Amino acid sequence: MAAKLSANKNPVYITTPPGTVVLEPVDIVWDTDGNFPGELYLAINGGGAIRVEGGTRTGKLTMNVSLGNSYLFMLRRGNTPPNLATLTVTVVDLEQALIDSSIGSLTLEHAINPPQSILGLRAEPSVDMVRVSFTTVQATIPTVRVETHDGEAVGIVVPFSEGNKTKHAVLIGRNDPLPQDTKLRLIVKVPGKPHPLTGKPARDAVRTVEFRTWARSIWVSFDRLQVRADGDSGNKGDLTFAFSATPVPDGPTYLTDPFEEDIPATDPRANVWRALNRSISVPEAGREVNISVAGTDDDFIPVPNPFTDFALYPRPDPVIGSFHEVRGQHASTLVGQNIYVGDMQPGGPTSIPFRLNTSDYDVAFTVEGEIHTLLRAGEGYAEATRQMALAVPVKAGVARAGGKSAMAAGKEPGTGAKIRVDDDGAVWMKRYQIGRDPSQPVRWEQTASAAPGSVTLTLGPDEEPLLFTVDKNGEPRLWRSQGETGEWTGLGGRLVGAVVAVTGRDGGITLFGLDAEGQLLQRAINPREPGTGTWQAIGGGMTGDIVALPQEAGTALFAIGREGRIVHTLLRPGEDRPKWLQLGGPQAEWFNALALAGEPGGLLLSALTAERVLHYCHWRKFPEDKPNHLWREQGPIDQAVRQQPNLPEGGDKLTGTGTA
């Protein structure tokens, strides 16, 4: 026989409902299979190995493990390698395993004939174009349309030539540019296929999102001038140069100060250049700009006015090529060209050199310079690419010392906040705000100290992060930022376990929690005046696992009631005595609920029994039709997690108030 090293449970599942701790004991048993003692070493998270037990041929060590850590046990004969046996103990977030497993089973139900859906939609705008990409469940030919908020179509693509497929990418605005710096509406419509067995026609899937194009400003820098002929046979050449830039085809003409200099007849020489230092700004430039220079020799007017005394005014519009004309004492030459600046997009060139060269007239010259660009970023749209990406079961907004972090999503994509709690109770936060540079990392900053227990995160109506905790006496407390500091404010009442916070669709914040008698309490709160509200009982006989989901008609509340039965009510605005209903299903020791957006829609309920058997229920027609008959047994949680199916690429999002 060989040396043995084993654990009484591996992986170790840790539950984190309100009122529980995040440490879980595990027994490590060893046997050297010899007449010599063994030494047990442990390395945590890849660190150095330390001796934790030993001195005997066989033995057992009981120790606590927690989420976020990896434990490598090594059995040795002495204090140095080689190892007689090794064992890695994995710690699994039971909440996340349960949710992922339930979602995986639900996904399998749609594998034979999944409903048509638009998944992983992305809109990536540039200055006057937008690249749209997405995946559809069924192969199809989509219609992609861009319109203004007034409903005027500014771009449409139907890629017939590409045939039916599931991965789609189109570019809108390639031929007809979209308006710059404009908030536009993107509408994607895809037809579905009839059911293969029933022939029932499928509904078209339609997604509508918004984006804003970038803005492009340019400035034309006229850098240097070479005069080849000054138009004067004498010893004095009185030359004046004027500069212009005009967006093509019909933009206004922008000018700058003229350049004047007396040039002797013996000069120019081919290698003489004069610095001009002239520039013109062109706001919201299109894809082409016409730049031109006019040079005039005037021996009659002492100080010519370049805007009225040039012989060629009004100028050709636009100026392309070079022109020359003599009228009396005036000799004028014009030179210009159209320059394409449409490639000056995000990721494109930031400058384009140019050279304007006249023909060999009496007044002949060359001007060199560059066109520079300044881009102002627009706003794109992007969503997760999993079939059903987890977002916000309300309890997932709870962070605990040594356990998982918590996150709350903002109204705009990519915004929100994330917190973690150190062992000493210090709360650290990352803020993801509108306008941040996505290329720069978001750093952790200490936000609050001395949190006495679990910390619940939500966002207020103005996207301000709000933290809730319960102190050692059971009093809930609120933290909100006040300038660069914050403080914990008592909210009154006595609770057991964590606070559940919900930001409703109207922006109002409601708190829920259990007291020592199992009463479910609620309280509306104004973060600016936290002391003005009172706690109110809305149900009794609860044992834990409070879940709250904001819905159109109110807040959907779930809890484990008497005898482990799952109960539910829809708390409508202004209602203080809601009716609780049993939802059937197993006698649960742990429970969670999720809202599913788009397809398949409805709610996903998951429950775990004392025997660690996982059950789930897809309540598609919530809040109608009680789901008692919809519960399904998925099997032991360990087996369910091992057999969790891979989720397909692309997908709609789950909705709620925050993410862990």
- 66 or 185, which is more confident? 185
Q: Is 47 exposed, middle or buried (0-12, 13-18, 19+ CB in 10 A)?
A: exposed
The two three-digit tokens of residue 419, written as one number: 């917190």
Residues 6+ positions from 7 with CB-CB distance below 8 Å: 26, 27, 28, 29, 87, 89
Kindly report, residue by residue over 499-555, the tens digit of the pLDDT: 888 876 666 788 888 888 888 898 888 777 776 678 888 888 887 668 888 887 788
User: How much is the pLDDT for 455?
Assistant: 84
Chain-wide mean pLDDT for the chain? 78
Average pLDDT over residues 7-11: 86
CATH hierarchy code of domain 216-376 = 2.60.40.150
- Out of 140-149, 216-225, 346-355, 597-606, which region has the weakest mean confidence (pLDDT)? 597-606
**CA quadruple 578, 584, 589, 590: dihedral sign:** negative
- CATH T-level assignment (fold) for domain 4-89: Immunoglobulin-like (2.60.40)
Q: How far is CA 43 from CA 11, 480, 579, in A?
A: 17, 39, 53
Average pLDDT over residues 485-501: 80
CATH hierarchy code of domain 127-213 = 2.60.40.2550
pTM here is 0.46
Kindly report, residue by residue over 384-427, the tens digit of the pLDDT: 433 332 223 333 356 666 555 677 766 665 567 888 887 777 88
Under the banding of pLDDT at 50, 70 and 90, the label for residue 488 is confident
* 88 within 8 A of 6, measured Cβ to Cβ: no
User: How much is the pLDDT for 440?
Assistant: 64
Average pLDDT over residues 348-364: 91
SS3 520: strand
**183-190: strand order across its sheet:** 153-157, 143-147, 183-190, 205-212
Q: Do domains 127-213 and 381-655 have the same CATH topology?
A: no
Residue 612 confidence (pLDDT) above 60:
yes
Please tell me which of 132-141, 413-422, 592-601 the model is most confident about, judged by mean pLDDT: 132-141
Q: What is the DSSP string of 180-201?
A: TT-EEEEEEEEPPPPPTTT-PP
User: How much is the pLDDT for 213?
Assistant: 94
Amino acid at 125: P
User: How much is the pLDDT for 545?
Assistant: 64
Where do the domains of the chain lie? 4-89, 127-213, 216-376, 381-655
* 314 within 8 A of 308, measured Cβ to Cβ: no
User: How much is the pLDDT for 550?
Assistant: 80
* 493 within 8 A of 523, measured Cβ to Cβ: yes
The CATH architecture assigned to 381-655 reads 7 Propeller (2.130)
